[in-house]
């Protein structure tokens, strides 16, 4: 990192930071076919009583990823979890707790991108239970620059869907090819691919295992339940893949 300014004298002072971690946690409701993001109601100033991304300030001895796991575990119980760093927002003035003259402590946010399974995820109700899944299409105004962070996270979701098997981190353990197709259509839009071609392509890749189980959902022929076979996927891990 940095030179310390031992030689130069009239150097501007270094900023002091508190570092926060904010999680953009996505899941998908396969029943209602909606992409959801987890929001919490703030209890404290600033932005008290406004929705925000679940976040926390980093503690002594704690890594960034530890902090991300900690805040996630405080809000939600999950079996499966996909987590990766998203982006770091650190401009001056992004937190009203910073003094207006730009001196004094600054607040930096390292955001994380997380995927969980809606059906398996249990929200942890705390007090008045200010925690909820929001459809990404109906977002409220969020605290801080969280709308921007969320937008950035949603873009990441759309991108990853195309070349990475993240779909299986938000779908239930067992899913039909219709579920999978629906997920892709709701996130990527109607015209990304024909259903039957999508089917053929995905099956040919060889990491979707047919469980033999069937589900019937109203009218129509019952669908096979598939499972993501991570062992069969392993050799494809670093190859450029096209899911769409």
Q: Considering the rule CB under 8 A, would residue 220 count as an interface residue with a copy of itself?
A: no
With CB under 8 A as the contact rule, the residue among 24, 25, 38, 52 that binds a copy of itself is: 52
Contact between 218 and DNA (CB under 7 A)? yes
- Token digits of residue 223: 């669908």
Q: Are 172 and 30 within 8 A, CB to CB? A: yes
> 218-228: b or e for each residue (b if 16 or more CB lie within 10 Å)?
eeeeebbbbbb
The footprint of DNA on residues 224-243 (CB under 7 A) is 224, 242
Is 196 among the residues that bind DNA (CB under 7 A)? yes
**Out of DNA, a copy of itself, none, which partner does residue 190 contact, by CB within 5 to 8 A per kind?**
none
User: Residue 56 Cβ, how far from a copy of itself at the closest point, in Å?
Assistant: 5
Closer Cβ to a copy of itself, 39 or 225, answer by number: 39
Q: How far apart are CA 61 and CA 54, in angstroms?
A: 21
DSSP 97: T
Rounded CA-CA distance 226/209 in Å is: 5
112 within 8 A of 83, measured Cβ to Cβ: yes
Interaction between residue 41 and DNA (CB under 7 A): no
Is residue 164 within 8 Å of 220, Cβ to Cβ?
no
- 209: contact with DNA by CB under 7 A: no
Nearer to a copy of itself, 163 or 195 (CB): 163
Token pair 């899941």 is at which residue? 27
Return the number of the residue (44 or 190) whose C-beta is nearest DNA: 190
Q: What are phi and psi of 77, to 5 degrees?
A: -105, 125
The residues in 58-97 that bind DNA, with binding defined as CB under 7 A, are: none
Mask: binding to DNA, 139-178, rule CB under 7 A, as x and -? -------------------------------------xxx
**Residues 89 and 108: beta-carbon distance below 8 Å:** yes
List residues binding DNA (CB under 7 A).
Answer: 176-178, 193-197, 199-201, 203, 214, 216-224, 242
């Amino acid at each position: 990192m940095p030179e310390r300014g031992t030689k130069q004298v009239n150097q501007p002072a270094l900023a002091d930071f508190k570092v926060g971690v904010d999680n953009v946690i996505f899941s998908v409701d396969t029943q209602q076919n909606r992409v959801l993001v987890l929001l919490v109601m703030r209890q404290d100033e600033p932005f008290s009583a406004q929705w925000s991304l679940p976040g926390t300030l980093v503690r002594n001895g704690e890594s960034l990823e530890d902090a991300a796991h900690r805040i996630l575990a405080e809000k939600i119980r999950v079996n499966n979890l996909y987590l990766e760093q998203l982006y770091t927002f650190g401009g001056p003035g992004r937190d009203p707790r910073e003094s207006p003259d730009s001196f004094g402590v600054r607040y930096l946010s390292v955001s994380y991108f997380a995927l969980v399974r809606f059906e398996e995820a249990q929200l942890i109700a705390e007090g008045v239970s200010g925690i909820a899944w929001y459809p990404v299409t109906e977002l409220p105004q969020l605290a801080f620059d969280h709308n921007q962070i969320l937008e950035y996270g949603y873009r990441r979701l759309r991108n990853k869907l195309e070349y990475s098997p993240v779909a299986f981190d938000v779908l239930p353990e067992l899913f039909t090819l219709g579920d999978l197709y629906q997920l892709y259509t709701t996130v990527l839009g109607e015209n990304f691919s024909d259903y039957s071609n999508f089917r053929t392509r995905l099956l040919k890749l060889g990491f979707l295992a047919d469980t033999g189980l069937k589900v019937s959902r109203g009218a129509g022929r019952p669908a096979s339940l598939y499972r993501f076979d991570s062992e069969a996927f392993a050799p494809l891990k670093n190859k450029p893949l096209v899911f769409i």
